């Protein structure tokens, strides 16, 4: 199932679930104008099709001591398949990495890290990032504050 195959009810279901995935099926059904059984069938179909990938809880980073965001541009010594695979395997093992993207441009990867402060980032840099296979250059950028941070798509 692809986006162009979704009708207005499917889109409405997805919009409501992205806002609050903990709402009951009865509340969701009322919001989209379907019976609870029809709503449940549609949600399950969206899950089975892979459109709903998973359900998560968003944690307030400040409350858990990880308010600092660092974006790290990583360049590797080589872009060979084994080197890329080795780096990618290592980066997923770092618990502070929130996202990692293979890039086109100046750097090979853009890594987002959530940490407590500059000192905590130094620990992550020394213990993880600088030790990852194939790393030739690291450029760190500290976010001052988030202007826009979305978790949902407007469907």
- Measure the CA–CA gap between 38 and 28, rounded to whole angstroms: 11
pLDDT computed for residue 1 by the predictor: 64
What are the residue boundaries of the structural domains of the chain, listed by start?
3-48, 61-142
pLDDT average, residue stretch 111-124: 97
Beta bridge partners of 114: 69
pLDDT of 3 above 90: no
Residues of the chain above pLDDT 70, percent: 98
* CATH (one of 3.40.50.720, 3.30.70.920, 2.60.120.10, 3.40.50.620) for 61-142: 3.30.70.920
**Which residues touch 36 (CB under 8 Å, ≥6 apart)?**
25, 26, 29
pLDDT average, residue stretch 17-38: 96
**Measured CA distances, 127 to 90, 94, 112, 115, 134 (Å):** 12, 9, 16, 13, 15
pLDDT of 4 above 90: no
Please give the mean pLDDT across all residues of the chain: 95
- pLDDT, tens digit (0-9, with 9 covering 90-100), for 45-66: 999 999 999 999 999 999 999 9
pLDDT of 92 above 90: yes
CATH architecture for residues 3-48: Orthogonal Bundle (1.10)
């Amino acid at each position: 199932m692809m986006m162009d195959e979704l009708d207005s009810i499917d889109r409405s279901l997805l919009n409501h679930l992205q806002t609050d995935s903990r709402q009951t099926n009865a509340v969701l059904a009322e919001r989209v104008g379907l019976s609870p059984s029809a709503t449940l069938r549609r949600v399950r179909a969206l899950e089975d099709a892979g459109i709903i990938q998973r359900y998560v809880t968003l944690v307030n980073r400040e409350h858990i001591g990880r308010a600092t965001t660092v974006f790290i541009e990583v360049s590797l010594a080589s872009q060979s398949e084994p080197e890329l695979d080795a780096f990618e395997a290592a980066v997923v093992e770092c618990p502070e990495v929130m996202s990692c993207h293979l890039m086109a441009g100046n750097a090979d990867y853009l890594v987002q890290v959530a940490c407590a402060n500059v000192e905590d980032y130094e620990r992550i840099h020394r213990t993880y990032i600088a030790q990852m296979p194939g790393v030739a250059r690291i450029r760190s950028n500290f976010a001052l504050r988030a202007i826009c941070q979305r978790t949902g798509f407007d469907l």
